Amino acid sequence: MPVRRFALLLSLVACQCLAAPADDEMPPPVPVSAGFLAQWSGSLSSQFSVARQSVGEKAGDMLTQAMGLLGVPYRRGGTSEETGFDCSGFVRHLYEKSFGRLLPRRADEQAKATETIERSELKPGDLVFFNTMKRAFSHVGIYVGDGKFIHAPRAGKAIRVDDMRSAYWQKRFNGARRVQTEDAQR
């Protein structure tokens, strides 16, 4: 038991990915309807070139898994489907599970370990970063397409989809990044 408590304490100390602030500042979550999911999954194939088809398929699988986690609670330092995720733990979990790529634990480290891309280049599966705690790259999510991203927002909330075009997220947008996978490097 002492080892378990130490591991929990260590994960809380090591994780500096802080969540978005109070609800009065954040826009409401984007409602995710069956129509949105159908439109989103149907548009994935057109988002990727033939040369990157296997990456596109894996990104689609990853986003399907991510959508299956809608409603899983936020938990600071969290890294599992059973107990909850924080923002960087959510991203790390999905990339490891889908691509076998282990990303760094913190959002700012994930930004440093990935390729910078322009906002106009975003494709489903890319990472989007925000300054929610008065420091760059303090929050991360996964772009799902159509200006929306999925993320673990903050304590008391659950994994959800938000629109990056809302005033709140536009003001805090830090940049977009692409995770280089083995398939993409070939």
Question: Would you please indicate which residues are annotated as catalytic (active-site) residues?
Answer: 87, 139, 151
Backbone angles phi, psi at 151, to 5 degrees: -160, 170
* Residue among 15, 3, 2, 179 at smallest CA distance from 101: 179
Contact status, residue 107 vs residue 140, Cβ threshold 8 Å:
yes
| Measured distance CA(62)–CA(60) in Å, rounded | 5
* 51 contacts 186 by C-beta, under 8 angstroms: no
Rounded-to-10 torsion of CA 17, 141, 156, 19: 30
Q: What would the two tokens of residue 81 be?
A: 């489907």
Q: CA-to-CA distance for 163 and 148, rounded, in angstroms?
A: 4
